[in-house]
């Protein structure tokens, strides 16, 4: 394989830009020609494909989001558009694809492989950390640090005004961000889809703490519970403490990648390039129990991500 396209797809995540840089530079070191696909899957269709040059990837390792931009393409569901994308790759002499994104991006690229047998390697990048088969996805550490900083700042106001604050994190139907953030910031309450919660028990605990001098409290709620607004009203009505809701939203996706995400980008990229060059066809690069490896796309498509039971056990007291 002499020519490989690099693309980012789906929701942006810090770590994508470092991965683009690392993939391109490692491909050069292997004697391969890297190409850059701009605007995700739509870029394949619209031929926004250029041969990478050193200046394209110089000075981007600190950039948040994705320098290649991204999209969610409905057009890619149409075989006619996928055929156009295949023709564009063929025109450039591209023999394989490295796609940096989430499970939806991998499924789309796998369909592309089924149609035209163009090999691909997937690098998991999503702040939700909800891709089956891997313990870590690019962007998670940066997102957690953004959330941690936001909650630490909110705590200052909560303490100053004797208030309760409910902080809603992203994560779709996965509560990883909420659980990790709640533990890292010392939150008093955490509601996530993975753990059954008991508001009566939480109420008894919090009222006892208030009676014993607690002057403020922090609750972290995963967006998948859809409990942010309700919990805010509930705290005011049940605990008798003025409560405010803060929805962090897309701020969690931004920011310069942390050191951890930059180093993980290197490691994921090397594994992706090595996998393609060794003849793997449609594999996802995973980080599992401290080691890198590959899993078939079916593992991602047919399975649900599982959160570390230790994390769930640590968070369970915050749900009762």
Both tokens of 248, joined, read: 């962090």
Residue 133 sits in the same domain as residue 269: yes
How confident is the model at residue 305, as a pLDDT?
Answer: 87
Residue-averaged pLDDT of the chain: 95
Residue 202 sits in the same domain as residue 235: yes
Residue 135 sits in the same domain as residue 8: yes
Residue 41 sits in the same domain as residue 163: no
How confident is the model at residue 300, as a pLDDT?
Answer: 81
Percent pLDDT > 90 in the chain is 92
Model confidence band, residue 303 (pLDDT cutoffs 50, 70, 90): confident
Q: Annotated catalytic sites, by residue?
A: 128
301, pLDDT greater than 80:
no
How confident is the model at residue 108, as a pLDDT?
Answer: 92
Cβ-based neighbour number of residue 53 at 10 Å: 11
Residue 200 sits in the same domain as residue 243: yes
158, pLDDT greater than 80:
yes
In terms of residue numbers, what domain contains 40? Answer: 3-139+257-303
Q: pTM value?
A: 0.95
Please state the rounded mean pLDDT for residues 222-241: 96
Q: What angle do CA 161, 165, 166 make, to 5 degrees?
A: 175
Residue 19 sits in the same domain as residue 103: yes
Residue 157 sits in the same domain as residue 281: no
Q: Count of domains in the chain? A: 2
Residue 199 sits in the same domain as residue 75: no
Q: What is the pLDDT of residues 277-294, one digit of tens each?
A: 999 988 999 999 999 999
| Rounded Cα distance, 171 and 174, in Å | 5
Q: What is the CATH number of the domain that holds 155?
A: 3.40.50.460
Please state the rounded mean pLDDT for residues 75-94: 97
Q: What is the pLDDT of residues 31-54, one digit of tens each?
A: 999 999 999 999 999 999 999 999
Residue 175 sits in the same domain as residue 267: no
How confident is the model at residue 218, as a pLDDT?
Answer: 98
Residue 247 sits in the same domain as residue 225: yes
Residue 135 sits in the same domain as residue 164: no
| Rounded Cα distance, 250 and 140, in Å | 13
Q: What is the pLDDT of residues 106-134, one digit of tens each?
A: 999 999 999 999 999 999 999 999 999 99
Map the chain to HEC letters.
CCEEEEEECCCCCCCHHHHHHHHHHHHHHCCCEEEEECCHHHHHHCCCEEECCHHHHCCCCCCCCCCCCCCCCCHHHCHHHHHHHHHHHHHHCCCEEEEEECHHHHHHHHHHHHHHCCCEEEEEECCCCCCCCCCCCECHHHHHHHHHHHHHHHHHHHHHHCCEEEEEECCCCCCHHHHHHHHHHCCCEEECCCCCCCHHHHHHHHHHHHHCCCCCEEEEEEHHHCCHHHHHHHHHHHHCCCEEEEECHHHHHCCCCCHHHHHHHHHHHHHHHHHHHCCCCEEEEEEECCEEEEEEHHHHHHCCCCCCHHHHHHHHHHHC
Please state the rounded mean pLDDT for residues 187-211: 97
Is 206 inside any structural domain? Answer: yes
Percent pLDDT > 70 in the chain is 100
How confident is the model at residue 298, as a pLDDT?
Answer: 79
Residue 78 makes CB contacts below 8 A (sequence gap 6+) with none
Residue 125 sits in the same domain as residue 22: yes
């Amino acid at each position: 394989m002499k020519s490989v396209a690099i693309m980012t797809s789906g929701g942006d995540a810090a770590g994508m830009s470092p991965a683009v840089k690392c993939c391109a530079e490692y491909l050069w070191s292997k004697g391969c020609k890297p190409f850059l696909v701009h605007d995700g899957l739509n870029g394949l269709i619209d031929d926004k494909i250029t041969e990478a040059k050193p200046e394209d990837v110089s000075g981007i390792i600190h950039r948040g989001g994705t320098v290649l931009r991204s999209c969610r393409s409905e057009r890619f569901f149409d075989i006619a558009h996928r055929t156009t994308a295949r023709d564009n790759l063929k025109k450039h002499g591209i023999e394989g694809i490295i796609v940096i994104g989430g499970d939806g991006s991998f499924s789309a690229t796998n369909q592309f492989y089924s149609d035209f047998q163009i090999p691909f390697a997937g690098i998991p990048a999503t702040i939700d950390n909800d891709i089956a088969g891997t313990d870590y996805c690019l962007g998670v550490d940066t997102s957690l640090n953004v959330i941690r900083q936001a909650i630490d700042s909110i705590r200052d106001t909560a303490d100053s005004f004797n208030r309760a604050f409910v902080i809603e994190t992203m994560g779709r139907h996965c509560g990883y961000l909420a659980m990790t953030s709640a533990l890292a910031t010392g939150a008093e309450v955490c509601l996530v889809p993975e753990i059954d919660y008991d508001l009566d028990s939480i109420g008894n605990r919090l009222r006892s703490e208030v009676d014993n001098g607690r002057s403020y409290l922090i609750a972290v709620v995963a967006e998948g519970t859809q409990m942010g607004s309700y919990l805010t009203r509930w705290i005011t009505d049940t605990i008798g403490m003025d409560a405010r809701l803060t929805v962090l939203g897309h701020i969690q996706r931004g920011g310069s990648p942390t050191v951890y995400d930059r180093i993980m980008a290197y490691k994921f990229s090397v594994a992706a390039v090595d996998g393609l060059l060794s003849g793997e066809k449609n594999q996802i690069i995973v980080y599992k129990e401290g080691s890198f490896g590959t899993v078939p796309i079916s593992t991602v498509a047919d399975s649900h991500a599982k959160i570390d039971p230790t994390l769930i056990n640590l968070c369970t007291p915050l749900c009762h």
